[in-house]
Structure 1
Amino acid sequence: MSPRLKPLAEQTIVITGATSGHGLSTARMAAAAGANVMLAARDEDALRSVVADILSIGGAAACTVTDVAVPADVERLAAATIARFGGFDTWINNAGSGAYGELTALSLADHRQVFETNYWGVVHGSLAAIGHLKDRPGGGALINVGSINSDMPSPILGAYNATKHAVKGFTDSLRIEVLAKGQPVAVTLIKPAAIGTPFPQHGRNITGRHAALPPPLYAPDVVARAILYAAQHNRRSMTVGGIGKLQVLAAQTFPNLFDRLAIPMTSVLARSGQPEPFEPGNLYAPQGRDGATEGQQRGRRLSTFSAAQRHPAAALALLGGMVAGGAWLSRRR
């Protein structure tokens, strides 16, 4: 059975990791489009602040303090959404954390904790979402936020990379099971390129150097638009950012060469010329610094590649026009 995905104005949407980065951007954008939004994160003060902002402009929002690594918290989030809004139509697993450090230098506890949030948080949320959506008239959408790192390696963020590979494997396998059972649930994997969120400021950093993201970056709103497109259109996966798509293509086509070219990325992700002390980050607990969509590095506001994915007919028409125009100019010459 195919899901019947509703316009945003008719939806209730659950968003984890909703107090910063593209989670926050998605929450604001969904509410502005008329959706009811249930926001989840660990930082209660930040949650209440975001809800107040949405309510102040006439949106519909509520929140539930949630640690996605704790199954009971996620079950409580689902129950609270059903009690408050009568159910939900889209569930977005967006919460994430990271650790800057070589794989051999990170403690086993840090390795496990990155997985607790990034992988097990997605598992807990997906099971809760499927449990509700499979019996909901018309079904709905489950959207898991992975990364282009789901498809390629990276130094310094190896633990984060591993979780995103796991999220991809889990999501793709879950989709097959949903299809086999005829459940009306669209299962989508969103794979952003480098996005200008506060990720480096929130991440645990044991390198002794300034944590950063590799340019070029895209703005969080670019990811939010892709997520909300998937909430209304059944898509298997969406890569956000054309540069990211090219990086993945290079990594998969020339893997040995890509490995060598990625070595200098170490000094881009952890800047050797900018020493900094150990940063515990929000890996184990919130820092109380949420509430911002963007971090210290700002990203470009538009991705032509991502826009083309959302508007394929227009993209084809534009391409056809460019080809026709080129042919006409050739004849004139």
Structure 2
Amino acid sequence: MRISLKPLHEQVIVITGASSGIGLATARLAIEKGARVVLVARNEAALFEIERELNAGNRVLHVMADVGERAQLERVASETISRFGGFDTWINNAGSSVWGRFDEVSDEDHHQVMQTNFWGTHYGSSIAVKHLRDKGGALINIGSVESANALPLHSSYSASKHAIKAMTEVLRVELQKSRTPVSVTLVRPSSTDTQFMDHSKNYLPSAPVFPPPVYAPEVVAHAILHAAEHPQRDVYIGNAKLLSRLAQNAPRLADWVNRTFVYDSLKSGRPDRHPRGALHDSDVGRAGDGSASGNYPGRTLARSLYTRASQHPVATTAAVAVSAAALVALLGRRGR
């Protein structure tokens, strides 16, 4: 069954976790492309400022909601339908995290990560599919390189992303079997420079840091919005596919890499400015919001060649062919 999606300028797009990071970068780009956008997050003050910053008139609606509460996401859908008549793409991006040894992190904190990440995506997917079942559209869930390659000191986050991957794959097959015209995509970013670390609760002796290479959030935003127009099963950012294949095909080697190189590299040695993060509602806003980019101290990459090649295969093939032809012509001239 062929699924046809609207161009972005004709779409209404719901984005959870839109007050910072990948969600905010995606919202900005969607507005730039002419879409109408619904911003969802727990920090209403930040959402209000972002809506004012976007300056897109009646093309933006913000709704404060905790994605871990189904009733609150039902209200997001209801207010979106009331304002815009419906939506065409729903992006489950909201996420939370805690860093620390499995046995040192409290059950409450492990539970909160699963509630936000897995159940928030579960609720959002259920609500989105119910609305899109007859009219068609796109459901985009944000997974991670950790959907396949679990990071040490990040057990509940990795577990939540594994669970999101499994749920997304089951839902996709069931919708395909019933010939439901909804595209279901799992986006798998690798390390991304957002406020993720500031928002994470931290049990480690120093601030956590992602292993390089690290990508700008706009790289992920472009990939997400491409999937909102062009149905795609999986979208890997940067080295996410390589690391996923390593974990799947050589798990003992992946364990050795994580144990030998990754484990200690996750500890920056720098003081953590926000060790409580924004895991629980009482801490929302304390670690900052309103910025797409974070404070990664190293170099961030503004493009992922692999992602671009996988999403634009024809253009990539043409570019390679032109480059090869130019190289052949150049070598031919030198050989004369």
TM-score range, shorter chain: over 0.9
> For residue 5 of structure 2, what is the aligned residue in structure 1?
5
Q: Does 1:167 align with 2:164?
A: yes
Change in Cα spacing, 1:276 to 1:307, as seen in structure 2 (3 Å) is closer
Bigger CA drift: 91-100 or 303-312?
303-312
Give 1:275 deviation, angstroms.
4.7
Give 1:17 deviation, angstroms.
0.2
Spell out the pairing of 1:264-283 with structure 2 (5 A cutoff).
Answer: 264-271=261-268, 273-276=269-272, 279-283=275-279
Give me the TM-score of the superposition, normalised by structure 2.
0.92
| SS in structure 2 of the partner of residue 153 of structure 1 | coil
Q: Following the alignment from structure 1 to structure 2, what is the Cα–Cα distance between the partners of residues 267 and 91?
A: 37
Q: Following the alignment from structure 1 to structure 2, what is the Cα–Cα distance between the partners of residues 231 and 31?
A: 14
> For residue 66 of structure 1, what is the aligned residue in structure 2?
65
8 Å Cα contact 1:209-1:277 kept in structure 2: no
- 1:251-272 CA-partner distances (Å, limit 9, x unpaired): 333221221111231222122x
- 1:9-28 CA-partner distances (Å, limit 9, x unpaired): 00000000001001000001
> For residue 246 of structure 1, what is the aligned residue in structure 2?
242
Give 1:250 deviation, angstroms.
2.6
User: Match for 1:31: what amino acid?
Assistant: I
Change in Cα spacing, 1:278 to 1:218, as seen in structure 2 (3 Å) is closer
| SS in structure 2 of the partner of residue 296 of structure 1 | coil
Q: Following the alignment from structure 2 to structure 1, what is the Cα–Cα distance between the partners of residues 273 and 59?
A: 41
Spell out the pairing of 1:99-110 with structure 2 (5 A cutoff).
Answer: 99-110=98-109
Give 1:235 deviation, angstroms.
0.5
| SS in structure 2 of the partner of residue 188 of structure 1 | strand
> For residue 300 of structure 2, what is the aligned residue in structure 1?
299
Q: Following the alignment from structure 1 to structure 2, what is the Cα–Cα distance between the partners of residues 59 and 23?
A: 19
User: Match for 2:193: what amino acid?
Assistant: G
Count, aligned residues: 328
Give 1:277 deviation, angstroms.
8.0
8 Å Cα contact 2:9-2:34 kept in structure 1: yes
Give 1:63 deviation, angstroms.
0.8
8 Å Cα contact 1:2-1:183 kept in structure 2: no
Give 1:208 deviation, angstroms.
2.1
User: Match for 2:97: what amino acid?
Assistant: G
> For residue 50 of structure 1, what is the aligned residue in structure 2?
50
- 1:279-323 CA-partner distances (Å, limit 9, x unpaired): 111111213411010111162111111111222101112233455
User: Match for 1:246: what amino acid?
Assistant: L
Q: Following the alignment from structure 2 to structure 1, what is the Cα–Cα distance between the partners of residues 189 and 224?
A: 10
Q: Following the alignment from structure 1 to structure 2, what is the Cα–Cα distance between the partners of residues 121 and 57?
A: 28
Aligned-residue identity in percent: 43
**Unaligned stretches of 5+ residues in structure 1:** none
> For residue 215 of structure 2, what is the aligned residue in structure 1?
218
Give 1:35 deviation, angstroms.
0.5
> For residue 151 of structure 1, what is the aligned residue in structure 2?
148
8 Å Cα contact 2:21-2:195 kept in structure 1: yes
Q: Following the alignment from structure 2 to structure 1, what is the Cα–Cα distance between the partners of residues 92 and 274?
A: 29
Give 1:4 deviation, angstroms.
2.1
> For residue 196 of structure 1, what is the aligned residue in structure 2?
193
Change in Cα spacing, 1:251 to 1:325, as seen in structure 2 (3 Å) is farther
| SS in structure 1 of the partner of residue 293 of structure 2 | coil
8 Å Cα contact 2:31-2:56 kept in structure 1: no
Q: Following the alignment from structure 2 to structure 1, what is the Cα–Cα distance between the partners of residues 21 and 58?
A: 19
Bigger CA drift: 196-205 or 56-65?
56-65
Give 1:278 deviation, angstroms.
7.7
8 Å Cα contact 2:44-2:64 kept in structure 1: yes
Displaced runs of 4 or more, over 4 A: 275-278, 322-333
Q: Following the alignment from structure 1 to structure 2, what is the Cα–Cα distance between the partners of residues 88 and 191?
A: 23
Q: Does 1:31 align with 2:31?
A: yes
User: Match for 1:116: what amino acid?
Assistant: Q
8 Å Cα contact 1:99-1:160 kept in structure 2: yes
Bigger CA drift: 260-269 or 37-46?
260-269
- 1:155-180 CA-partner distances (Å, limit 9, x unpaired): 11121111000000000000011111
Change in Cα spacing, 1:103 to 1:6, as seen in structure 2 (3 Å) is same
Q: CA RMSD in A?
A: 1.9
| SS in structure 2 of the partner of residue 74 of structure 1 | helix
Q: Following the alignment from structure 1 to structure 2, what is the Cα–Cα distance between the partners of residues 192 and 59?
A: 31
8 Å Cα contact 2:198-2:274 kept in structure 1: no
> For residue 128 of structure 2, what is the aligned residue in structure 1?
129
Q: Following the alignment from structure 1 to structure 2, what is the Cα–Cα distance between the partners of residues 123 and 68?
A: 9
